[in-house]
């Protein structure tokens, strides 16, 4: 719940980066993404017979279990019957033989806790071995999950517990609850007596399909793609042949050694870099704080030290309680009408910044319809839950949400009864907004949006609220354009602005003040409403990184990012951009006019490496507690400064060289609006970039990442923006149709391939990222192709190594629902399978797991 509330709190920040496509990790939380689709039923694909399956699996398994006779694999089958899904698992299990025991955290295997009693007895022996080897998931055959007591799970604690009965939403809100409750674990009570006796196998097999005629999934027909995806699981489980599974084989020892920390969900890859960088930055802060030196007022070090120490001044904070917010809360109470409320909010915004605006928090963004100017995006009330959730009076999440609003209002000074009445009113408003939301399809069409308002046209929409009063009072001009995310929902919101609902808007403003500023007040307020735990050192570390990001960024870069690194990477960017142009020139599916537009986009590309040209320091006065300062006063001054800068920036031309993140951020981004790529120093370190590594190794990691970002400007979304960053159709109809056909092919290329057994990837949800991944490698190979004796092996290994990450089964499952990136294993394996250079380097041929036939490979950019 707290995490969801925080989403609203930071909505402004998230929207700032909406047009940036974050790439190193999961993107900004998108909880509306639809679930991953199951392995698609390909109607045209032929259903296979048991004989065809046996032949396929025996060939696939020849490196792992050579010499198995066809008769042994096919025992009990004629070979000519159409195979069922259940039979496919048994045939594969026989062909591959004994599986290695899963070890370490990085197996990408299914938890071996499948209850086989619904499957026919003759299949148990093989299925149990598949389950213990991690290649059979309960969902594969609609089997149940074995529920074990907690004692029996102790020795297998590396397995992520599966929640057998609790609904998903409840799990998310109480991430630790299912660890103590019902868990699933490897079967120990599946007695040996059920071991199939080969002698009676054939007898029982005949009746087996009848016994289970009710189980559609077990009896479903299977296609070649089903068989391939199953074979991939075995390649993954063995992890010993890079021709079958490159990622796991080359990274095996490193991944086996990784341990997921007790308080984390994954280890390795970007999460390791993030925590290492966080430590470096925190150490820098502590060095300054503990130096005992006398820093001049206004210096970066003085601001860092005094801000940090003011956060740790708990005695002072506790003594002040809610007092620092009092005058702002009182001003809200004193308002008799919307004009009064507008005046109170305007005063608050001037002193507390955007966090002081509970009704119309705003963020300046580049106008998608004319990239030379900015518009203000209004971050108005957005429903937290779905229409169905609001309609359900027993919904636990809503109850919890209501309770937290009541607590916030009580903290702001309301009585319990009044707080409850107001919370109910806000819930009614949110329910109405949820019912009036546009569909995702309506929202995704960038060219058809009409969500623009001037302050005056807003007044016409909500005459009693007179928002223009507020807008002018906070320093914006009357011809300024305001943009809303969903105009249909916004119209419903506007209808609530009547004098009789004034108290609800007063309540919203108070909630904004409490949620926005509690973290800087007493321990009680901070811990109850400030979205932090009780680790104040960490809170101080985070706040200083956020409010003094350029002060710290400059110190970070001086210590950790040598000038040679910057020039080396800039040279690589140049090579990659030229390679991309060469590739566009050669595309056979695009005509000359469209190519010219695409090349224009590349020519006007801005690439920012490491850190900004000009540091954008926090110009607020940061004062130490010894000097009358406090966490509240330092935070308020910083927020007000941010707000003033945003207002000032509205009149300035768009600067594509503006660096929108801290230099120590471990991420990379592409801004479609400004046609800019950003690589902060934080990500320009091992395993992505290493000054001592070979050119090929760096090209495989940082190079492919840079080219990935370049490709984003031409992915399914980026292709809608022209060279100036304006949304405009610059394609010929024919080329765009062809591009969409290629996108469709890329979608199918990923559909159903798995993060782990039973966790399929959705090719549509991950399309943009997959196009960018493939384009990234294509571009790197283009450069290598013109060099003398390039070391392809170093290039491919370095690329695969960058994706090292281990995560639990539940985490992988949740990511498949929410992450717009394919799982790491596919970001390596599926991508590399499109390139002949890769096959040539390792002698990969038809029949190998990594091999894809030329006509099925994806070549878009
Ligand atoms: Zn990306």
Greatest Cα pair distance, the chain, in angstroms, is 89
Q: What is the DSSP letter of 824?
A: H
Handedness of CA 374, 379, 385, 390 (dihedral sign): negative
Check pLDDT > 70 for residue 5: no
59 alpha carbon – ligand 1 mean position (Å): 36
Q: Is residue 241 part of a domain?
A: yes
Q: What is the pLDDT of residue 67?
A: 85
Please tell me which residue, 672 or 608, carries the higher pLDDT value. 608
Q: What is the pLDDT of residue 530?
A: 84
742 alpha carbon – ligand 1 mean position (Å): 18
Check pLDDT > 80 for residue 158: no
Handedness of CA 166, 167, 168, 173 (dihedral sign): negative
Please state whether beta strands 147-148 and 754-756 pair in parallel, antiparallel, or not at all (unpaired).
unpaired
Which residue, 533, 562, 594, sits at the end of a domain?
A: 533
Query: 674 and 730 share a domain?
Result: yes
Range with the largest mean pLDDT of 417-421, 679-683, 723-727: 417-421
818 alpha carbon – ligand 1 mean position (Å): 14
Query: CA distances (Å), 163 to each of 150, 754, 819, in order?
Result: 13, 20, 21
Which residue, 486, 504, 533, sits at the end of a domain?
A: 533
Exposure class string for 718-738: b at 16+ Cβ within 10 A, else e? bbbbbbbbbbbebbeeebbeb
Query: 693 and 826 share a domain?
Result: yes
Query: 484 and 604 share a domain?
Result: no
26 alpha carbon – ligand 1 mean position (Å): 9
Q: What 3-state class would DSSP assign to 115?
A: strand
Check pLDDT > 70 for residue 168: no
759 alpha carbon – ligand 1 mean position (Å): 21
Predicted confidence band of residue 274 (pLDDT cuts 50, 70, 90): confident
Question: What is the Cα–Cα distance from 596 to 577, expressed in whole angstroms?
Answer: 15
Query: 560 and 440 share a domain?
Result: no
164 alpha carbon – ligand 1 mean position (Å): 34
CB 713: neighbour CB atoms within 10 A? 27
The domain in which residue 120 lies consists of 50-257
292 alpha carbon – ligand 1 mean position (Å): 44
22 alpha carbon – ligand 1 mean position (Å): 6
Beta bridge partners of 364: 376
The contacts of residue 125 (CB under 8 Å, 6+ apart) are 194, 195, 196
Q: Is residue 505 part of a domain?
A: yes
The contacts of residue 565 (CB under 8 Å, 6+ apart) are 610, 684, 689, 691
128 alpha carbon – ligand 1 mean position (Å): 39
CA angle 36-382-659, nearest 5°?
Answer: 80
261 alpha carbon – ligand 1 mean position (Å): 26
Check pLDDT > 80 for residue 36: no
For 632-644, the pLDDT digits (tens) are 999 999 999 999 9
235 alpha carbon – ligand 1 mean position (Å): 27
Q: What is the pLDDT of residue 184?
A: 29
Cβ atoms of 90 and 123 closer than 8 Å: yes
Query: 224 and 354 share a domain?
Result: no
Strands (E), 249-393: 266-267, 362-366, 374-378
Lowest mean pLDDT among 73-77, 145-149, 394-398, 849-853: 145-149
Q: What is the pLDDT of residue 172?
A: 28
Mean per-residue pLDDT, 517-541 = 92
Q: What is the DSSP letter of 110?
A: -
711 alpha carbon – ligand 1 mean position (Å): 9
Predicted confidence band of residue 107 (pLDDT cuts 50, 70, 90): low
Query: 702 and 816 share a domain?
Result: yes
18 alpha carbon – ligand 1 mean position (Å): 13
Predicted confidence band of residue 836 (pLDDT cuts 50, 70, 90): very high
790 alpha carbon – ligand 1 mean position (Å): 26
How much is the mean pLDDT over the chain? Answer: 84
776 alpha carbon – ligand 1 mean position (Å): 10
Check pLDDT > 50 for residue 208: no
Q: Which tokens in the block code for residue 770? A: 């997959």
115 alpha carbon – ligand 1 mean position (Å): 39
CB-facing half-sphere around the CA of 472: CA atoms within 13 A = 12
Q: What is the pLDDT of residue 522?
A: 96
Lowest mean pLDDT among 67-71, 111-115, 382-386: 111-115
Start-to-end CA distance of the chain, whole Å, equals 42
31 alpha carbon – ligand 1 mean position (Å): 18
Which residue, 230, 257, 284, sits at the end of a domain?
A: 257
443 alpha carbon – ligand 1 mean position (Å): 21
Query: 438 and 499 share a domain?
Result: yes
CA dihedral 147, 151, 155, 158 (to 10 degrees): 50
717 alpha carbon – ligand 1 mean position (Å): 11
Strands (E), 773-828: 806-807
Check pLDDT > 70 for residue 90: yes
Query: 688 and 791 share a domain?
Result: yes
Q: What is the pLDDT of residue 308?
A: 98
Query: 502 and 570 share a domain?
Result: no
Q: Is residue 317 part of a domain?
A: no
Query: 567 and 451 share a domain?
Result: no
Q: What is the pLDDT of residue 259?
A: 87
668 alpha carbon – ligand 1 mean position (Å): 8
Q: Is residue 408 part of a domain?
A: yes
672 alpha carbon – ligand 1 mean position (Å): 12
Residue tagged 């596919």 (tokens):
826
796 alpha carbon – ligand 1 mean position (Å): 19
The CATH number that applies at residue 412 is 1.10.1380.10
For 610-655, the pLDDT digits (tens) are 999 999 999 999 999 999 999 999 999 999 999 999 998 888 888 8
352 alpha carbon – ligand 1 mean position (Å): 35
Q: Is residue 16 part of a domain?
A: no
Check pLDDT > 80 for residue 540: yes
760 alpha carbon – ligand 1 mean position (Å): 20
Question: What is the Cα–Cα distance from 173 to 819, expressed in whole angstroms?
Answer: 19
676 alpha carbon – ligand 1 mean position (Å): 13
The CATH number that applies at residue 607 is 3.40.390.10
The contacts of residue 448 (CB under 8 Å, 6+ apart) are none
695 alpha carbon – ligand 1 mean position (Å): 23
Give the gyration radius of the chain's Cα atoms: 29
714 alpha carbon – ligand 1 mean position (Å): 11
Q: Is residue 622 part of a domain?
A: no
Check pLDDT > 90 for residue 32: no
23 alpha carbon – ligand 1 mean position (Å): 4
770 alpha carbon – ligand 1 mean position (Å): 8
706 alpha carbon – ligand 1 mean position (Å): 10
Predicted confidence band of residue 88 (pLDDT cuts 50, 70, 90): very high
802 alpha carbon – ligand 1 mean position (Å): 14
Q: What is the pLDDT of residue 688?
A: 86
What are the two backbone dihedrals, phi and then psi, of residue 498, each rounded to the nearest 5 degrees? Answer: -125, 155
Predicted confidence band of residue 200 (pLDDT cuts 50, 70, 90): very low
Percentage of the residues of the chain whose pLDDT score is greater than 90 = 63
Lowest mean pLDDT among 46-50, 119-123, 210-214, 768-772: 210-214
Check pLDDT > 50 for residue 15: no
Q: Which tokens in the block code for residue 415? A: 């009585």
660 alpha carbon – ligand 1 mean position (Å): 17
Q: What is the pLDDT of residue 749?
A: 97
Q: Which tokens in the block code for residue 336? A: 């008799």
36 alpha carbon – ligand 1 mean position (Å): 19
Lowest mean pLDDT among 199-203, 271-275, 279-283: 199-203
516 alpha carbon – ligand 1 mean position (Å): 31
Q: What share of the chain is helix, strand, coil (3-state, %, to 5)?
A: 55, 5, 40
Check pLDDT > 90 for residue 729: no
708 alpha carbon – ligand 1 mean position (Å): 6
Query: 471 and 597 share a domain?
Result: no
664 alpha carbon – ligand 1 mean position (Å): 19
For 816-830, the pLDDT digits (tens) are 998 999 999 999 999
- The total number of structural domains in the chain stands at 3
566 alpha carbon – ligand 1 mean position (Å): 21
809 alpha carbon – ligand 1 mean position (Å): 23
Query: 338 and 410 share a domain?
Result: yes
What are the two backbone dihedrals, phi and then psi, of residue 606, each rounded to the nearest 5 degrees? Answer: -105, 130
27 alpha carbon – ligand 1 mean position (Å): 9
Handedness of CA 284, 289, 292, 298 (dihedral sign): positive
626 alpha carbon – ligand 1 mean position (Å): 46
Check pLDDT > 80 for residue 174: no
688 alpha carbon – ligand 1 mean position (Å): 15
367 alpha carbon – ligand 1 mean position (Å): 22
Chain-centre distance for alpha carbon 109: 22
257 alpha carbon – ligand 1 mean position (Å): 28
Q: What is the pLDDT of residue 574?
A: 94
- Look at residues 838, 790, 580 and name the one whose alpha carbon lies nearest to residue 694: 790
Q: What is the pLDDT of residue 291?
A: 95
Question: What is the Cα–Cα distance from 640 to 656, expressed in whole angstroms?
Answer: 24
Mean per-residue pLDDT, 370-382 = 85
293 alpha carbon – ligand 1 mean position (Å): 43
Question: What is the Cα–Cα distance from 635 to 513, expressed in whole angstroms?
Answer: 13
Q: What is the pLDDT of residue 444?
A: 67
Q: What 3-state class would DSSP assign to 183?
A: strand
804 alpha carbon – ligand 1 mean position (Å): 17
Q: Is residue 18 part of a domain?
A: no
Q: What is the pLDDT of residue 112?
A: 79
Q: Is residue 506 part of a domain?
A: yes
């Amino acid at each position: 719940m707290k995490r969801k509330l925080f989403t609203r709190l930071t909505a402004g920040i998230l929207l700032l980066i909406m047009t940036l496509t974050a790439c190193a990790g999961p993107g900004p939380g998108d909880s509306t993404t639809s679930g991953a689709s199951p392995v698609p039923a390909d109607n045209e694909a032929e259903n296979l017979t048991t004989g065809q399956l046996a032949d396929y699996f025996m060939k696939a398994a020849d490196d792992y279990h050579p010499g198995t006779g066809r008769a042994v694999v096919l025992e009990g089958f004629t070979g000519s019957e159409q195979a069922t899904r259940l039979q496919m698992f048994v045939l594969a299990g026989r062909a591959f033989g004994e599986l290695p025991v899963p070890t370490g955290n990085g197996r990408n295997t299914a938890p071996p806790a499948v209850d086989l009693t619904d499957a026919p007895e003759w299949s148990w022996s093989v299925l149990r071995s598949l389950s213990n080897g991690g290649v059979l998931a309960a969902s594969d055959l609609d089997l149940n999950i074995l529920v074990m007591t907690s004692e029996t799970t102790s020795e297998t604690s590396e397995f992520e517990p599966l929640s057998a009965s609790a609904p998903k939403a409840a799990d998310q809100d109480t991430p630790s609850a299912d660890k103590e409750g019902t868990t699933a674990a490897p079967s120990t009570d599946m007695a040996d007596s059920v071991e199939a006796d080969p002698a009676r196998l054939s007898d029982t097999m005949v009746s087996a399909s009848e016994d289970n005629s009710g189980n559609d999934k077990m009896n479903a027909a299977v296609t070649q793609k089903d068989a391939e995806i199953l074979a991939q699981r075995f390649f993954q489980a063995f992890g010993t042949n890079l021709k079958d599974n490159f990622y796991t084989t080359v990274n095996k020892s490193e991944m086996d050694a990784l341990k997921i920390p007790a308080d984390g969900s994954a280890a390795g890859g970007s999460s390791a870099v993030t925590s290492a960088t966080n430590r470096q930055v925190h150490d820098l802060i502590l060095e300054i704080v503990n130096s005992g030196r006398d820093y001049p007022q206004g210096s970066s070090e003085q601001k860092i030290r005094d801000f940090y120490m003011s956060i740790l001044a708990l005695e002072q904070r506790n003594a002040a309680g809610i007092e620092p917010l009092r005058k702002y809360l009182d001003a809200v109470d004193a308002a008799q009408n919307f004009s009064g409320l507008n005046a109170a909010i305007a005063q608050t915004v001037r002193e507390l910044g955007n966090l002081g605006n509970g009704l119309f928090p705003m963020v300046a963004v580049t106008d998608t319809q004319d990239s030379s100017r900015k518009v203000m995006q209004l971050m108005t009330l957005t429903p937290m839950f779905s229409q169905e959730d609001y309609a359900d009076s027993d919904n636990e999440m809503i109850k919890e949400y209501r309770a937290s609003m009541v607590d916030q209002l009580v903290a702001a000074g309301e009585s319990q009864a009044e707080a409850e009445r107001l919370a109910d009113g806000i819930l009614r408003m949110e329910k109405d907004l949820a019912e009036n939301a546009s569909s995702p399809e309506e929202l995704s069409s960038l060219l058809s949006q009409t969500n623009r308002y001037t302050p005056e046209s807003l007044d016409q929409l909500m005459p009693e609220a007179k928002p223009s009063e507020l807008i002018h009072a906070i320093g914006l001009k009357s011809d300024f354009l305001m943009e809303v995310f969903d105009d249909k929902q916004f119209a419903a919101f506007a209808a609530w602005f009547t004098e009789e609902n004034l108290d609800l808007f007063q309540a919203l403003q108070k909630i904004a003040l409490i949620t926005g500023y509690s973290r800087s007040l007493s321990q009680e307020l901070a811990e109850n409403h400030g979205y932090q735990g009780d680790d104040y050192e960490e809170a101080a570390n985070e706040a200083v990184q956020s409010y003094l990001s350029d002060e710290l960024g400059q110190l970070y870069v001086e210590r950790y990012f040598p000038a040679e690194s910057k020039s080396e990477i800039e040279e690589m960017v140049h090579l990659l951009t030229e390679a991309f142009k060469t590739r566009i020139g050669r595309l056979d599916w695009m005509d000359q006019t469209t190519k010219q537009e695409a090349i224009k986009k590349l020519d006007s590309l801005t690439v920012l490496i490491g850190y900004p040209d000009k540091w954008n320091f926090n110009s607020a006065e940061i004062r130490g507690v010894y000097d009358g300062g406090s966490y509240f006063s330092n935070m308020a001054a910083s927020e007000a400064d941010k707000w003033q800068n945003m207002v000032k920036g509205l009149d300035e031309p768009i600067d594509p060289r503006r660096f929108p993140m801290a230099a120590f951020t471990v991420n990379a981004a592409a801004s479609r609006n400004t046609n800019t790529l950003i690589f902060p120093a934080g990500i320009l370190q091992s395993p992505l970039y290493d000054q001592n590594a070979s050119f090929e190794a760096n090209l495989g990691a940082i190079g492919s990442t840079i080219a990935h970002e370049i490709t984003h400007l031409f992915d399914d979304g980026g292709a809608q923006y022209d060279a100036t960053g304006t949304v405009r159709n610059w394609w010929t109809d024919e080329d765009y149709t062809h591009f969409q056909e290629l996108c469709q092919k890329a979608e199918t290329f990923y559909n159903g391939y798995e993060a782990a057994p039973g966790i399929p990837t959705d090719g549509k949800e991950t399309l943009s990222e997959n196009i960018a991944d493939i384009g990234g490698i294509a571009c790197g190979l283009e450069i290598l192709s013109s060099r003398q004796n390039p070391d392809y092996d170093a290039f491919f290994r370095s690329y695969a190594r960058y994706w090292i990450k281990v995560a639990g089964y539940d985490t992988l499952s949740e990511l498949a629902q929410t992450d717009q990136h394919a799982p790491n294993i596919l970001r390596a394996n599926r991508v590399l399978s499109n390139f002949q250079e890769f096959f040539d380097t390792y002698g990969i041929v038809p029949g190998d797991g990594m091999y894809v036939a030329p006509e099925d490979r994806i070549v878009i950019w």
